[in-house]
Chain A
């Protein structure tokens, strides 16, 4: 089942690549079909997933590399638990949205969709892998399509941004691989569940170094201050669909990695450094929010708001308790949908106005009421309005983190105030005010794919805001064993 989810986009990518040149535009439909099928599979996985059952479900496993005498083996080992099931669902959904908002791509169409689908496979691999090396492999595989997508179809300083993205991630993952190797050599296995049961006690180099070696990769990806600088560049210069994927699922790989690998395998070190993590988190939230307030470029604004919002994820994680961790996982899901939607909207606006400069826009609500309304919904969800999904996640994080890290939590709550500021100010500057003559002939969202892309995300945001139980049941079952480690031993 999960292997099917992993392979469907890849099959689509190959099929799209071998289309004859004359029928290049059909690649869009192939991409839609295959990402749609993958989404259907992810829904089936999520619905049939049983939160009351312990351990991984839908497991596929076989030994992949087994060098005799080397004392280790690498497996192909995939499966879902309560933590990855929502991530898979999010990925399935956002991939469809990303394909839909790319329907107007007209340059090198085949390759574009092939890379987009390959990206989906790679990220799916990260969320589904239960073996450290397999995890690392997909983690690296994701770079290739991202690099190509940003640098070929991006705008502005796209090549620079793509390279920056690549170098940051690669530098991080180099340390991660060292960490994995040290752990694996010590324990004789790379299987995550086995390592969780028997956390390494002693290794070739101090375990706290190993912890940071692994964390640095995840923190870069998350991203938090001071390793966040690749994010605004990558977002600004990436095509819309890639921004959606980047904000929606790629950033989640960092948080997911911490929850899946760093915390369960090295719990003592996580406990030792929880104040450092909380401090980084609190500072990131505030710093991100303050920088966001100063942005004039619409995409940069949302990119920096992501830095601030991902700080909440780290804050929830630093609390190391069931509530905080659940909040972090939930925040990852909701931020994925909300920011995904925000980037979709920015893409739609940019397509019409051909500018992202906030100061040059004014009164767009008159010209495009639908886009304006949806943008407003997304913005309100982003600033944490009760009844929309952002509120549930942030509240849970604050509840979980307050006891452990009061100062960082207060910083976080102040971040929400700032979020209200920058979001509402942005909406006001763009959509309200006098209708500018130069935007007189702009059209509202009028294609079916735009409607589907916006609608599906709005439905999810509202639904989770009202019935958080749909997602939280699964998340809590996934978080429980991790939280247990900390409650039992430390």
Chain B
């Protein structure tokens, strides 16, 4: 554990790094403004300089079922996030870790079953 007094002094490198970062970015921006050549054409203002012209407005309605799929997808994505570190400690911890993960996956599975029953997977 860290002695509490040092807590903030440990972050001094971070502070220096971020100040240095700011200076770098700002000097690069100013430098390009001073040095780079600029051309003023209509093409410059379009979304894509080459390729198709975009049709309609950028903000369009998305089917609201899409979000449901999105959420379900994220849930199982997050499951993976938990499973990867689990793999690393699995051997050391033993059967407890195994059953813990089984419970976790089972809960998610039940959730999927519930969502299925409620018709969340039906594209209507």
Do A and B come into direct contact in the complex, CB within 8 Å? no
Binding site for B on A (CB under 8 A): none
